[in-house]
Structure 1
Amino acid sequence: MSFAPVLASWLTSFLPGREAHFVVVPRLRLVYARVPKVANTAVRSLLADHVDRTAGPAPPPNKDSFWRGDGAVDGRIVSGAEVLGRYGDHLCFTIVRDPFDRLVSCWSDMIARPAAILPNLDRLGFRRGMEFGDFVERVARIPDRAADLHFRSQASIVSARGRVVPSLVGRMETIGTDWERVRAAVLERTGTDLGSLPQKNVRRRDRSDVQRLFADGRLVDRVRVRYADDFRLFYPGREAPEPAGEAGPTVA
C-alpha cells in the first residue's frame, strides 16, 4: 500500500474540529466525551432531548454536525482543552469499552460485512471482508494521530493536556449500573432525570466471538501494545479478552 493515504489522513489530524470530542449540554451543565463504538449513538440521542433544535430537517444526534449547529441550537461539540478551560463547573462523563471487544465490534460492523466501507477506512488501507487477523495487524501499524475514530485509542479521545478530562468514567461492560451513576449525578445537580438509555444500533448481542477471534496470542499482544494507554487507565490488569458482562442493547 502507498504511504500517501496514511499521510493524507495524518494531515487531517490538524484540521479544525479533529479534536472536538466533547458534547456540551448547557441546560444540564453536562459534558459527554463521546467514544465511537461505545454506546455513542444511544447517549447522544438521549442528550439531544435536552437541547433546543433548529427548525427544519437536521442530521441525527450521533453526527457531529448536529452539535455544530445543524441540529442543536444551544448544544456544542468542543475539544477537551476547551472543556478544561471553560466548562469546569459542568459534570463531564464518558463510557469506555474493553479494547478487545471494541476492536471486534469495529471489524464486525465496518469491515467484515458492511454495505460499503467508509472512505476514511479505505484510505487507510482497509478492505471489505478483510480477515480479522489482517485487520488487527493493520490497526496496530496506524498511530492515533492518523487513526479513524472507530479504532483510535479511547485514552487519546477523552484526554487533553496530559490528563483524562471526564471525572466520571463508566464501562460498557457495566453500563446498566454506570449509567445510573450518571443519571443520579445529573438529577442531584439539576433536578432533571435523564431516564434510561434508548436501544440504538443493536448489531451484535453475542460477544462470545471475542475470545474466539483472539485465540491467536500474537493478536492479543498486538492489541495490548497498540492500546496500552486504554488498558493502563481503564482496564488495568486485563491481559486477554474476558467474557462480556452486562453490555447489551445500547451498543453503538
Structure 2
Amino acid sequence: MAGYHLNAHYWELCLRRALSGREPADIPVFAMPEQRVAYAVIPKAASTSIQTAMAPFFGVQPTKSEPIASAMRPHAIRSSHFAKDLAGPDWLIFAVVREPTARIQSAWRNKMDEPDEVFGPLRRMGMRRKLPFDQFVSRLARWPTWALNDHFSPQSELLKHVRDLPGFYAAKLESLADDWAHIQRLCLDRGIGLPDLDLMNRTSGAAPKVSPQTADILGNLYRADYEGFGYDRP
C-alpha cells in the first residue's frame, strides 16, 4: 500500500476536498473583468515576475518587505471559481508553463535542498529532512497528483479548470521573451499596457543529475505535461 494512505495530511486533504471541493491544485487566477484578461499562476514558471508586472493594475505597490505573492493574494480568485463565474468566449486567459524536468529540479532546490528548513507542505507529506533529488521524486510519485502542492503538481493538473476555455494561451518559459511580447500586444488591444518582464527568483547552481530510474518516474508523473505542452520526455 502506498505510504500516503497512512499520512494524516492526506486524509485532511481528502476531507477538505469532500466538504468544499478545494484541492491544492486549484490555482489562483488574477482576473481583470473590465478588460477580460486573466493570468493563471503556475509556480516555478516566472510567476513572481508576472505578478510584479501585473501588480499596479490591482493597486498593489511591490515592496521589499512583503513578497509579491502575499501582496497579490487578496486579489486572486481560484481557477475553479473563475471558470464557473467569470470566464467567457471573449476573455484572454494566459499562463506560463515550463519544461517539467527543469521545473521540478528548480522546485527541489528551492523548497528542499537550499533552505535551512524543508518546505512546510513537504514536511506534512512526511519529508521532514532533506532528500537527494532521486529520493525526493520517488516520494512525490507515491502521492496522487491532485494532492500535491502546486509547486510539484503537474502543470496540466494545475490548469485543468482553464486550459480548455476559449481564449486560453499557454506561453513557455523557454521562449518567454517572444511569448511575453505576444501577450503584451494582445493586452494592449484591450487597453492594458503590460511592462516588460524583469525575471526574478532564478534558481542558481547546477541542476541535479537525473538517473535513468528517476527519468522514468518523471516521464510517468508528468506525462501529460510533456505530451500536452510539446516537451520531450526525459
Q: Shorter-chain-normalised TM-score: which range? A: 0.7 to 0.9
Q: How many residues align?
A: 223
* 4+ residue runs over 3 A deviation: 9-18, 58-61, 161-166
1:52 counterpart (43, 59, 74): 59
In the alignment, structure 1 residue 32 sits paired with structure 2 residue 32: no
Unaligned ranges ≥5, structure 1: 69-74, 241-252
Percent identity over the alignment?
Answer: 24
The 5 A counterparts of 1:1-252 are 2-13=6-17, 15=20, 18=23, 19-26=26-33, 28-53=35-60, 60-63=67-70, 66-68=72-74, 75-80=75-80, 82-83=82-83, 85-88=85-88, 89-160=90-161, 163=164, 167-190=168-191, 192-204=192-204, 209=207, 213-214=209-210, 216-236=211-231, 238-240=232-234
Alpha-carbon offset, residue 152 of structure 1: 0.7
C-alpha contact 1:158 1:166 (8 A) present in aligned 2: no
TM-score by length of structure 2 reads: 0.83
Amino acid in the other structure paired with 2:31: V
TM-score (norm 1): 0.78
Describe the superposition over 1:130-185 as per-residue Cα deviations: whole angstroms up to 9, x where unpaired.
11110010111111221111101111111128836761111111111111111111
Alpha-carbon contact 2:28-2:41 (below 8 Å) kept: yes
Residue 28 of structure 2: SS of its match in structure 1? Answer: strand
Q: Residues 114 and 11 from structure 1, CA distance in 2 versus in 1: closer, same or farther, beyond 3 angstroms?
A: farther
Contact 1:21 1:157 in 2 (8 A): no
**How big is the alpha-carbon RMSD for the aligned residues of Structure 1 and Structure 2?**
2.6
After TM superposition, give the deviation of residue 61 of structure 1 in Å: 3.3
Distance 1:160 1:197 in 2: 26
Unaligned ranges ≥5, structure 2: none
Q: Structure 1 residues 162 and 11 mapped into 2: Cα distance closer, same or farther (>3 Å)?
A: farther
